Amino acid sequence: MSWVIAGTWRMALEGVSKGAHMLATGASAGDAVTEAVRAVEDYPLYKSVGLGGLPNGACQVELDGAFMDGDTLDFGAVAAVKDVKNPVSLARRLSTERFNCFLVGAGAEDFARVELFEMCNMLTERAKRAFEIRSRKVRESNLSPYDGHDTVGVVALDSSGSMACATSTSGLFMKRPGRVGDSPLCGSGLYADSRFGAAVATGLGEEIMKGVLSYETVRSMGEGLDPDSASRRSLKSFIDRRIQAGRRVGAISILCCSRDGRVGVATNVEFSFVIARRDSPAKVYLVSPDGDGVKIQEAPVEWLEAYERRIKLPPEEVF
Ligand code: GLY
Residues in the chain: 319
Residue 205 has pLDDT above 80, yes or no: yes
User: How far, in Å, is the centroid of ligand 1 from the Cα of 50?
Assistant: 13
DSSP secondary structure of 24-80: HTT--HHHHHHHHHHHHHH-TTSTTSSTTPPP-TTS---EEEEEEETTT--EEEEEE
Q: Give the angle 107-151-224 at the CA atoms, nearest 5°.
A: 105
- Note if the pTM is more than 0.85: yes
User: How far, in Å, is the centroid of ligand 1 from the Cα of 182?
Assistant: 5
User: How far, in Å, is the centroid of ligand 1 from the Cα of 172?
Assistant: 6
Tens digit of pLDDT for each residue in 119-155? 999 999 999 999 999 898 888 876 665 665 689 999 9
Which residue has a Cα nearest atom 4 of ligand 1?
A: 205
**Residue 188 Cβ < 6 Å to ligand 1:** no
- Counting ligand 1 atoms within 8 A of each CB, the residue from 207, 208, 249 with the most, and so the one to mutate, is 208
**Residue 234 Cβ < 6 Å to ligand 1:** no
**Which DSSP state fits 176?**
P
- Cα 261 to Cα 135, 155, 163, 241, 253, distances in angstroms: 44, 10, 10, 30, 19
Question: What is the radius of gyration, based on Cα positions, of the chain?
Answer: 18
d(CA 156, CA 257): 7
Calculate mean pLDDT across residues 279-308. 96
DSSP, collapsed to helix, strand or coil, labels residue 226 as coil
Task: Output the pLDDT for position 147.
Answer: 61
Residue 248 has pLDDT above 80, yes or no: yes
**Residue 172 Cβ < 6 Å to ligand 1:** yes
The catalytic residue positions are: 151
User: Do strands 252-258 and 197-203 pair parallel, antiparallel, or not at all (unpaired)?
Assistant: antiparallel
**Residue 184 Cβ < 6 Å to ligand 1:** no
Residue 204 has pLDDT above 90, yes or no: yes
**Residue 202 Cβ < 6 Å to ligand 1:** yes
